[in-house]
């Protein structure tokens, strides 16, 4: 008998009851030899196809229908036998479990408490335990709902679809293995010599360990953010259009929502989106830039005019050894506009770094809400943002930046700065790339031996001395920017007008080595002036004009004794200034900085021995310094009766070290009155010098 191919077996169609009955009658007429051969074939192929049934019919001398019905009945019989065997096994198992339950119930009646030897829990204790379990169950349900909502918000998938990612403990993200060596000079950011960023704004978020399920969610969120950011960076249309008015890239919201649908994070009607895109060529290679972006201290030091605080909360994935590609970390940052009138923006976010090809990197940031830990509510939410870094010749890099956030802070922002903030200029990509380019320029000038230095009085003769002075000036600028957050500030609204914010004052204790010890009183005010930003910047930089606004100069002129250029623009420089007061043993260190979005002029008194130590190449990190200065940014409002096409916003900030008398309250009141008078008088002098007193 030709048994045929077992792989060719196929199922039979179900026959009617009457046909099955006829098959049974035919079955009883089969002889034993036929049944043995059918049984043997059934073991090999219980579902013969039509060709095999015809072959069996010829070999056994039976009708094809008899063969078909025999196999159908045999399968039914085999299934019934198997079910009877399973039922017997389950019945025996059920009887065994029932007997065990009876034994356990009898044993529980005689159980005693192992701690005290008394009887078991009574009904009241059981109720308390039940309530505790119900509370824990409700908490677990809440956490489950949070995870589900986050998944829906980020990736639009239910929690069951992320289980495949849970066994990735200790694994790296899916990333290419391409790496390249660190070329060029060493990391220039190490020359900035700065102290670690402060972390006082993190009272509730403690990284006590992240559950594996939440790590899997972080990985999924970061991968989605990287994919979206890459498209935003590489595509213009249909996502971006260029404004004909100012050349800025504008995100086409309708197109974006179709490609990346998601629900809004804030439900209030005052919430809005800010989106921007810009690119710049910077004098730093991609390896050093990536290293800076993944180090919270270097990150804050690179952008002192934007970042007040930064911290890496936890490294989720370290990335490829020797490369950092695939690095994922949970971070915190606090951003500010250089005015106490604008509240800072806080973000808890994931930063994911990926090298997508040799010499090309993408760093993606996206806000993240922890499921397992509580964090402070914020009015800012970062959608996938970040930058693409591409290596260019001569140790440079092209950086393309996208900033995309959802915010609800309009009512918290003073009306003087509301237009700048709501237009996206205050925190947009243009400001990030301008600050990055400026810092890289400064680093390049600090490292070069042929940088332009004009030494008018024989003050600076060594390259090491020039670098030491530049480090001191950089720390001065950083400290000045940090003071403008003015935590615990006091408001003096009696000066508040349409074009003036009034004076805001803060009092703090100084314990840092880089500041004079004691109590420091700071004051700041912001105002609008009908003067172009460039004119106001030149006014403050002109040493001959200082007598017109500097109350402390007492009408005496000042002289610049040394000048260091730290950028191609003539306004980017550091100066050592000697007040014309022969009995004073003090000099002024001043740095000015300007780009197309704004400018600053920061200065601080430094005693002559400290200056001599710095210019001789000594360590300037221990020199105490207390800076004051001015922040200027453009504004398009025309002044009343003014011929200018626009004005500017000016922030004036002073710091004063006060002694510690017997009565601290008396000290504070006197100090507040003194610095309030100082800053108010300075503002009035500036207005008078610029013919803007009519704004009072």
Neighbours of 406 (CB within 10 A): 19
Tokens 């002289």 belong to residue: 559
Domain contains 179: no
Peptide linkage before 238 cis (omega within 30 of 0): yes
Domain contains 134: no
b/e per residue 195-234 (b: at least 16 CB within 10 A): eebbeebbeebeeeebeebbbbbbbbbbbbbbebbbebbe
- Coil vs helix vs strand at 607: strand
pLDDT at 361 over 50: yes
Domain contains 332: yes
Domain contains 79: no
Burial of 359 (0-12, 13-18, 19+ CB in 10 A): middle
Comparing C-alpha atoms, which of 24, 5, 654, 653 is closest to residue 339?
653
For 289-347, what is each residue's pLDDT tens digit?
999 999 999 999 999 999 999 999 999 998 887 778 999 999 999 999 888 888 899 99
Same domain flag for 504 and 632: yes
Q: Name the band, by pLDDT with cuts 50, 70 and 90, for residue 674.
A: confident
Same domain flag for 434 and 482: no
Number of structural domains (the chain) is: 2
Average pLDDT over residues 588-602: 94
Neighbouring residues of 106: CB distance < 8 A, sequence distance ≥ 6: none
Distance of alpha carbon 386 from alpha carbon 397, whole angstroms: 15
Average pLDDT over all residues of the chain: 80
**142-151, 242-251, 339-348: which range is least confident on average?**
142-151
CATH number at residue 258: 3.30.530.20
Distance of alpha carbon 65 from alpha carbon 46, whole angstroms: 16
Q: Which two tokens stand for residue 550?
A: 């500097």
Q: Name the band, by pLDDT with cuts 50, 70 and 90, for residue 169.
A: very low
**362-371, 376-385, 661-670: which range is least confident on average?**
661-670
Single pTM value for the model: 0.70
Same domain flag for 431 and 362: yes
For 414-442, what is each residue's pLDDT tens digit?
888 888 998 888 999 999 999 999 999 99
**4-8, 29-33, 54-58, 297-301: which range is least confident on average?**
4-8
Distance of alpha carbon 498 from alpha carbon 528, whole angstroms: 9
Percent of the chain with pLDDT strictly greater than 90: 38
Domain contains 27: no
Distance of alpha carbon 455 from alpha carbon 512, whole angstroms: 31
Q: Which two tokens stand for residue 338?
A: 């250089």
pLDDT at 195 over 90: no
Domain contains 639: yes
Residue 33 confidence (pLDDT): 79
Same domain flag for 542 and 607: yes
Tally of helices (H runs) and strands (E runs) in the chain: 16, 20
SS (H, E, C) 305-366: CCEEEEEEEEEEECCCCCCCCCCEEEEEEEECCCCCCCCCEEEEEEEEEEEEECCEEEEEEE
Percent of the chain with pLDDT strictly greater than 70: 76
**Through-space distance between the first and last CA atoms of the chain, rounded to whole angstroms:** 115
Neighbours of 547 (CB within 10 A): 16
Domain contains 225: yes
Average pLDDT over residues 13-20: 40
| Residue ranges making up the domain that contains 231 | 212-444
- Coil vs helix vs strand at 597: coil
Q: Which two tokens stand for residue 696?
A: 């009072």
Same domain flag for 425 and 474: no
Domain contains 364: yes
Neighbouring residues of 232: CB distance < 8 A, sequence distance ≥ 6: 239, 240, 277, 384, 402, 404
Same domain flag for 419 and 476: no
Q: Which two tokens stand for residue 211?
A: 């559950």
Q: Name the band, by pLDDT with cuts 50, 70 and 90, for residue 175.
A: very low
Q: Which two tokens stand for residue 323?
A: 């490369």
When mean pLDDT is compared over 166-175, 360-369, 636-645, the highest value belongs to: 360-369
Q: Which two tokens stand for residue 399?
A: 């950086």
Same domain flag for 481 and 427: no
Comparing C-alpha atoms, which of 687, 654, 352, 659 is closest to residue 516?
659
For 76-100, what is each residue's pLDDT tens digit?
998 898 899 999 999 999 999 998 8
């Amino acid at each position: 008998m030709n048994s045929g191919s077992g792989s060719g077996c196929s199922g039979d169609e179900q026959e009617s009851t009457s046909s099955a009955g006829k098959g049974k009658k035919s079955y009883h007429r089969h002889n034993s030899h036929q049944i043995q051969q059918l049984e043997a074939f059934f073991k090999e192929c219980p579902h013969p196809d039509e060709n095999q049934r015809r072959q069996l019919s010829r070999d056994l001398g039976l009708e094809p229908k008899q063969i078909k019905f025999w196999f159908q009945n045999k399968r039914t019989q085999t299934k019934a036998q198997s079910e009877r065997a399973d039922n017997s096994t389950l019945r025996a198992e059920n009887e065994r479990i029932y007997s065990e339950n009876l034994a356990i119930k009898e044993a529980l009646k005689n159980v005693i408490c192992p701690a005290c030897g008394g009887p078991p829990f009574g009904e009241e204790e059981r109720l308390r335990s039940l309530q505790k379990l119900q509370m824990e169950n409700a908490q677990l349900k809440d956490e489950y709902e949070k995870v589900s909502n986050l998944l829906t918000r980020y990736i639009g998938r239910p929690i069951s679809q992320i289980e495949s990612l849970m066994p990735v403990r200790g694994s790296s993200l899916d990333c290419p293995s391409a790496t390249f060596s660190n070329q060029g000079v060493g990391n220039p950011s190490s020359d900035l010599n700065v102290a670690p960023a402060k972390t006082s704004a993190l009272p509730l978020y403690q990284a006590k360990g992240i559950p594996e399920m939440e790590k899997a969610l972080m990985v999924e969120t970061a991968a989605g953010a990287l994919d979206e950011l890459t498209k935003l960076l590489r595509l213009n249309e249909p996502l971006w259009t260029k404004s004909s008015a100012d050349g800025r890239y504008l995100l086409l919201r309708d197109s974006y929502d179709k490609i990346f649908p998601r629900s809004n994070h804030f439900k209030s009607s005052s919430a809005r989106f800010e989106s921007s895109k810009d690119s710049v060529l910077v004098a730093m290679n991609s390896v050093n830039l990536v290293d800076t972006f993944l180090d919270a201290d270097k990150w804050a030091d690179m952008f002192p005019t934007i970042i007040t605080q930064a911290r890496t909360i936890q490294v989720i994935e370290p990335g490829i050894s020797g490369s950092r590609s695939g690095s994922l970390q949970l971070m915190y940052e606090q951003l500010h506009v250089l005015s106490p009138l604008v509240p800072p923006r806080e973000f808890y976010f994931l930063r994911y770094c990926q090298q997508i090809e040799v010499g090309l990197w993408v760093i993606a940031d996206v806000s993240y809400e922890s499921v397992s830990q509580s964090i402070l509510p914020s009015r800012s939410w970062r959608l996938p943002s970040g930058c693409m870094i591409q290596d260019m010749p001569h140790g440079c890099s092209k950086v393309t930046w996208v900033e995309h956030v959802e915010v609800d802070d309009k009512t918290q922002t003073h009306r003087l700065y509301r237009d700048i903030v709501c237009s996206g200029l205050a925190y947009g990509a243009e400001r990030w790339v301008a600050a990055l380019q400026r810092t890289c320029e400064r680093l390049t000038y600090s490292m070069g031996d042929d940088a332009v230095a004009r030494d008018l009085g024989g003050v600076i003769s060594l390259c090491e001395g020039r670098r030491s002075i530049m480090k001191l000036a950089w720390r001065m600028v950083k400290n000045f920017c940090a003071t403008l957050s003015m935590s615990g500030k006091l408001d003096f609204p009696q000066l508040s007008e349409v074009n003036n914010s009034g004076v805001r004052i803060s009092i703090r204790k100084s314990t840092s080595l880089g500041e004079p010890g004691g109590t420091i009183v700071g004051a700041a005010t912001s105002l609008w002036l009908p003067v172009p930003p460039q004119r106001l910047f030149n006014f403050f930089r002109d040493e001959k004009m200082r007598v017109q606004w500097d109350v402390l100069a007492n009408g005496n002129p000042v002289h610049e004794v040394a000048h260091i250029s730290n950028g191609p623009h003539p306004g980017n420089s550091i100066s050592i200034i000697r007040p014309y007061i022969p009995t004073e043993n003090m000099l002024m260190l001043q740095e000015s900085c300007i780009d197309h979005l704004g400018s600053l002029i920061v200065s601080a008194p430094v005693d002559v021995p400290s200056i001599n130590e710095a210019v001789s190449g000594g360590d300037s990190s221990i020199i105490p310094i207390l800076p004051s200065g001015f922040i200027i940014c453009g504004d398009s409002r025309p002044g009343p009766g003014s011929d200018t096409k626009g004005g500017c916003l000016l922030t004036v900030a002073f710091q004063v070290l006060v002694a510690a008398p017997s009565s601290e309250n008396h000290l504070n009141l006197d100090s507040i009155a003194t610095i309030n008078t100082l800053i108010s008088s300075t503002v009035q002098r500036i207005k008078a010098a610029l013919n803007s007193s009519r704004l009072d």
